[in-house]
A and B are shown apart, each in its own frame.
Chain A
Amino acid sequence: MEEIKAAIEAAVPGAQVEFVPNPSVSAQHSLRLSPESAVAVATFLRDDSELAFDFLSNVSGVDWPDKEIAEKVKVTRQVVKTVDGPEGKVDQTVDETVEETRKRVEPGLLEAVYHLYSVAKKHGPLVIRMRTTNRSDKTQLPSLTPVWRAAEFQEREVFDLYGIIFTAHPDLRRILMWPEFKDHPMRKDYIDPDDFEYEPTPHDEVLKRAQAHRAAAQGTPPVEEGAAGA
């Protein structure tokens, strides 16, 4: 993997390649390409006589939603305290160190993952990834269909279900859902239509959905199932 990374960096000037280790048992590490140089890198991977990745097996999408991270930070603050002095009670300013939990939001993004094999050299898979800037308005990535024709339908599927817009794709239309459909169903924040058929005794997640559905149908706030005494 490191050799491939070095070969890419030597062959394609200005290519930014990041090594993404996989700590699990499978140890299927991957390379993250910057979208600007991705097509050049992909062409090199296909055409290089040593690497010769001539077969694109699989294109997947990944949705990374906005992540809230809680961190504990030590903060020093000035606190006014009433202290017993020699002439009665005196206000005194004291420095105090408090541990505070701060929350920051890591912006989400979308990712496209490509699995490459070499039929000629009998090696693979090589996993390459690309990330979009965010998951709302800047979801463009370069299409690798000009390099591997096999990417065409799978990139259409990723576009359909995740909303990644592949620039320079020859025919970027929805492939599974109908053209009038507006959502991207595989995203984590997809809200599916409220046509759920509720079982008579729902639990947990389904219970919450059933209560929300009933509240929307009746126009009343949701009632706890236990409080209702049903």
Chain B
Amino acid sequence: MAVDQNLKIELGKQGIFVTTIEELYNWGRRSSVWPMQFGLACCAIEMIATTMARYDLARFGAEVFRPSPRQADLMIVSGTVTKKMAPQVVRLYNQMAEPRYVIAMGACAISGGPFKQGYNVLKGIDRYIPVDVHIPGCPPRPEALIQAFMTLQKKIDGQPLTGEGRPRFLDADAQGEFPVPEQGEHDLEPTSNKGVWPVPITIR
């Protein structure tokens, strides 16, 4: 149930704070999104720069990078995901506790980038796990990562706790574990998770 903004401000002037459970809950969630400490390629260098004093990602509540997937809320896929590495990335995502989010950082993580037409690079991590925010760039600047982080916070803020569009961890029927691809004789098997990434149809 939404609170009338003007009434809220008026009550605030009188020293009364009015909110909803949903607002409070989402405020709590979005203000302490802890990323996982894990980098794949050169984008990781930009991610490290983002956390340092000049860009200071801690301003957004992401002050600690957790070295364990159990303690992390956000996976920043920072760099090229090779087909040899992809099963491990999916496994790490499965080990993270809900609520969990993914930012695909850089051209390689969102599409394969310059290695797209190669034989050994995954053409985007969104083929196997659900990605919340994609950032283009090679590598993206720290400002772009901060922008992605703010986009993610807006997304969390807008999530209702019940009904359609509620987050996955509040939906008992939602898929919780994502299948880890097998390393086959010629390619990863399967080549994508159809439930997460429907194969696009090219219209000519």
Instruction: Say yes or no: A196-B187 contact (C-beta < 8 A), given A176-B84, A230-B204.
Output: no
Count of chain B residues near A, Cβ 8 A: 17
A196 lies within 8 A of B117 (CB): yes
Partner of A193, one of B84, B116, B191, B204: B191
A195 lies within 8 A of B116 (CB): no
B185's closest neighbor in chain A, by CB? A182
Partner of B120, one of A180, A185, A196, A197: A185
Partner of A180, one of B117, B123, B184, B200: B184
Chain A residues whose CB sits within 8 angstroms of the CB of B203 once the complex forms? 200
B185 lies within 8 A of A198 (CB): no
A177 lies within 8 A of B117 (CB): no
The proximity string for A residues 182-203 relative to B, scoring 1 for CB distances below 8 Å and 0 otherwise, is: 1101000010110111101100
A200 lies within 8 A of B202 (CB): yes
B120 lies within 8 A of A177 (CB): yes
Q: Which of A181, A196, A201 has the most B CB atoms < 10 Å from its CB? A: A181
The number of A-B residue pairs with CB atoms under 8 Å apart is: 38
Question: Which secondary structure characterizes the binding site on chain B?
Answer: loop
B191 lies within 8 A of A195 (CB): yes
Query: Complex: how many Å from CA A45 to CA B20?
Result: 81
Nearest Cβ on chain B to A182's Cβ, whole angstroms: 4
Partner of B185, one of A181, A185, A197: A181
Query: Complex: how many Å from CA A116 to CA B185?
Result: 35
A195's closest neighbor in chain B, by CB? B191
Nearest Cβ on chain B to A204's Cβ, whole angstroms: 14
A182's closest neighbor in chain B, by CB? B185
At the interface, yes or no: B119 with Cβ under 8 Å from chain A? yes
A198's closest neighbor in chain B, by CB? B202
Within 8 A of B (CB), among A154-184: 176-178, 180-183
At the interface, yes or no: B186 with Cβ under 8 Å from chain A? yes
Nearest Cβ on chain B to A165's Cβ, whole angstroms: 18
A193 lies within 8 A of B183 (CB): no
Q: Which of B83, B185, B186, B203 has the most A CB atoms < 10 Å from its CB? A: B186
Instruction: Say yes or no: A180-B119 contact (C-beta < 8 A), given A193-B191, A198-B202, A200-B203.
Output: no
Within 8 A of A (CB), among B146-204: 183-187, 191, 200, 202-204
A193 lies within 8 A of B120 (CB): no
Chain B residues whose CB sits within 8 angstroms of the CB of A181 once the complex forms? 183, 185-186
Q: Apart from A182-B185, A193-B119, A200-B203, what are 18 other A-B pairs with CB-CB below 8 Å?
A: A176-B120, A177-B120, A178-B83, A180-B183, A180-B185, A181-B185, A183-B185, A183-B186, A185-B120, A190-B119, A192-B119, A193-B191, A195-B187, A195-B191, A196-B117, A197-B200, A198-B202, A200-B204
List, sorted by A's number, 15 A–B pairs whose CB atoms are closer than 8 Å.
Answer: A177-B84, A180-B183, A180-B184, A181-B185, A183-B186, A190-B119, A192-B119, A193-B186, A195-B123, A195-B187, A196-B117, A197-B116, A197-B200, A200-B203, A230-B204
